[in-house]
Amino acid sequence: MEGATRGWIIPIGGAEEKENAPEILERFVKRCGDADADIVVIPTASRMADTGARYERIFQELGVRRVSTLAFDTRRDCEEPGRLSRIESASGVFLTGGNQLRLSTILGGTSVAKTLRKCNAAGLHVAGTSAGASFISEHMIAFGEEGASPIAGSVRLAPGLGLTNRFIIDQHFRQRDRIGRLLTALAYNPFAVGIGLDEDTAAFIGPDNTLDVVGSGSVTILDAHGLQFSNMDQVDEGQPVCMLGLQLHVLVAGAQFNLSTRTATAGSLNRR
């Protein structure tokens, strides 16, 4: 919609605190309108039958006025007008964890995906945790190997939802030793910024493309914009990749990164 302000994009690294001090979910609810929030939960990535109901209960306990689950189990489900209208009426959408390939194969290229992109561009806030976080951007890590080094062929990329093409997300980042596969993804596509999200940690990305860190862990930023050399085109599958000129930032709650200018700042940490 011309002249509209894009909604916030909120990838979460998984295992976010849900009971004692759910800071990330509280911040999402506040962004969506506090007590007037109207949230749709999409549990498609999960094969657990109670995932949607669990998040409904959590959001209700946080004071959300209206919350409902839309379980898209088939591509035909993604074309139902009533479900599309429900998304259009919401102030926030929450994509649960599970398997990101279920999201891309069931939602990808459907009217639901188009509606989510259109509504986010017009102001709908979209959050995703774990697999839901990976699916948010245009380039999605489908699966890959753990480890600290970039290895040719160690990661497989697939098309994601496409709310933005500025970054590639990886989640459970420090807990599952995933820096190598995120580096490999950037070797394939140096244009993007790599965002590695620890568990119980989120990147709140505003319409101005400023990323604010919320949660108990850290966000690792891998910026290949100044990449001077990569031999990805020369090495065989399974071999380490040489990458020169990368920039790395480790951000904690209060710190910021501007995805447009590629600059990191301590943010509110300077005032502590």
Task: Give mean pLDDT in consecutive 10-residue pieces for the chain, a chain of 272 residues.
Answer: 83 97 97 97 97 98 97 97 98 98 98 98 98 98 97 97 98 98 97 98 98 98 97 97 98 98 90 59
Please, which residues have CB within 8 angstroms of residue 137's CB and are 6 or more apart in sequence? 160, 161, 162, 163, 164, 165, 166, 167, 168, 169, 192
Q: Taking all residues of the chain, what is their mean pLDDT, rounded to a whole number?
A: 96
Rg, Å, the chain Cα set: 18
Task: Give the Cα separation of 135 and 31 in Å (integer).
Answer: 21
DSSP state of 25: H
* pLDDT tens for each residue of 84-115: 999 999 999 999 999 999 999 999 999 999 99
What pLDDT was estimated at residue 4?
81
Q: Does residue 260 have an active-site annotation?
A: no
The catalytic position among 130, 137, 218, 230 is 130
What pLDDT was estimated at residue 269?
82
What pLDDT was estimated at residue 20?
92
Domains and CATH numbers, the chain: 9-271 (3.40.50.880)
Q: Does residue 216 have an active-site annotation?
A: no
Q: Does residue 225 have an active-site annotation?
A: no
Please, which residues have CB within 8 angstroms of residue 39's CB and are 6 or more apart in sequence? 29, 32, 59, 64, 66, 67, 68, 90, 91, 92, 93, 94
Q: What angle do CA 213, 217, 218 make, to 5 degrees?
A: 55
Place of tokens 């990101």: 100
The catalytic position among 91, 137, 172, 218 is 172
Interior/surface letters 102-137, b for 16+ CB within 10 angstroms, e for the rest: bbbebbbebbbbebbbbbbbeebbbbbbbbbbbbbb
